[in-house]
Amino acid sequence: MYAKGVEVWCAPTVDEREMWQVSMRHIAHEGRCFVVSACQVQDSPHALGVEIANWPADRPLIAGGSVIVGPMGDILAGPLRDGTGLLSAEIDTDDLIRARYDCDVVGHYARPDVFELSVDERAKPGVRFNA
């Protein structure tokens, strides 16, 4: 995706853990792109009127964590936790150019003299069984 010139990477998720936030920041920083990650939110079992074994009744099933990250890994908005809402951030695509002067993983850091990646984008089955 970096080689295709991605500017805004959209990453929907159900992963509310801190490690997801770290991953989103890493992708933005490595790819020098903006990342928008929308995380689902689901109320607690108590609020939903259900019981779930080994789950605290008042803890949300999914606490959210939507975030918008800039091309240097800086958080521009969020993370939005423990409720629904709308995140917004003003982005400047010129920031992408400035960020890629520092590190461009598919540009001057790519080393095409020693490494080549070939991607076959034709549709294929995900699993094939050969007898």
Pick the CATH number of 8-102 from 2.40.440.10, 3.60.110.10, 3.40.50.300, 3.10.129.10: 3.60.110.10
* Residue 111 in this model has a pLDDT that exceeds 80: no
65 or 105, greater pLDDT:
65
Give one DSSP letter per residue of 29-80, joined into a string: HHHTSEEEE-B-EE--HHHHT---TTS-TTS-SEEEEEEEE-TTS-EEEEEE
**pLDDT computed for residue 103 by the predictor:** 81
Question: What confidence tens digit (pLDDT) does each residue in 10-50 have?
Answer: 999 999 899 999 999 999 999 999 999 999 999 989 999 99
Instruction: Name which residue leads in pLDDT, 110 or 59.
Output: 59
Q: Where are the domains of the chain?
A: 8-102
Nearest to 88 by CA among 43, 42, 38: 38
